[in-house]
Amino acid sequence: MNLFLLRHGESVWNKEQRVQGRRDPGLSENGKRQAKAAASLLKKEGIEVIYSSGLKRCAQTARMIALRTGAKIKFRPGIEEIILGVWQGKTIDEVKRLYPKSYAAWLKVPSKAGIPGWEGVPKFTKRVSRAFESILRENSATDICVVTHWGVIAAYLSKTLDADFDHIFQGVRVDNCGISKISYENGKVIIQCVNDTHHLS
């Protein structure tokens, strides 16, 4: 089976460079265009099921893909973005000014950022791992798409690669509507591509 990991389209807050976390802004007009482009590519791949975070930016993206592909949507708890506490709703410039220590730590070692009120990386990655284990159990022979968030994709890639979350989060780009493809064949895990964005050009 093939798993397609898709980050949601550009949100209004992505455009404003505003921290989202669990806040719930919708897609920008550009984000809607990105979602339609991703949908056209995924139609060719023949996906049958879409799992989506329930947050609006993912739900809107997933619905556009479902409309184009005919795939069924399942909203799945556990694949929502990491909770980023007091940063949520603030612009990056505001975060730099109001929380310089945690922001500096975030840039160096995200898992040690210590953001007031956040979920924390160990709890977050455990949540994501459990959610994906459940999804994969349900779809051992079905090609699926998971519409989710930057942090969630980084967390799952770090688990799949047996790599440190901080290294993946900092070292791997996850663009809006970028697609990563992972194949599961005869007990083997094969990463076919990471953050493919050619459909957006």
Tell me the helices (H) and strands (E) count for the chain, helix number first.
Answer: 8, 6
What is the chain's length? 201
Residue linked to tokens 């791992």: 129
Residue-by-residue DSSP string for 117-166:
TB--HHHHHHHHHHHHHHHHHH-SSS-EEEEE-HHHHHHHHHHHTT--HH
Active-site residue, selected from the candidate residues 8, 167, 198, 199: 8
167 in active site? no
Annotation marks residue 8 as catalytic = yes
Q: Measured between alpha carbons, how far is residue 100 from residues 92, 112, 115, 128, 140 in Å?
A: 11, 14, 11, 28, 45
DSSP string, 22-36: T----B-HHHHHHHH
CA distance 115 to 69: 39
Helix (H), strand (E) at residue 193: strand 188-196
What amino acid positions are annotated as catalytic residues? Answer: 8, 149
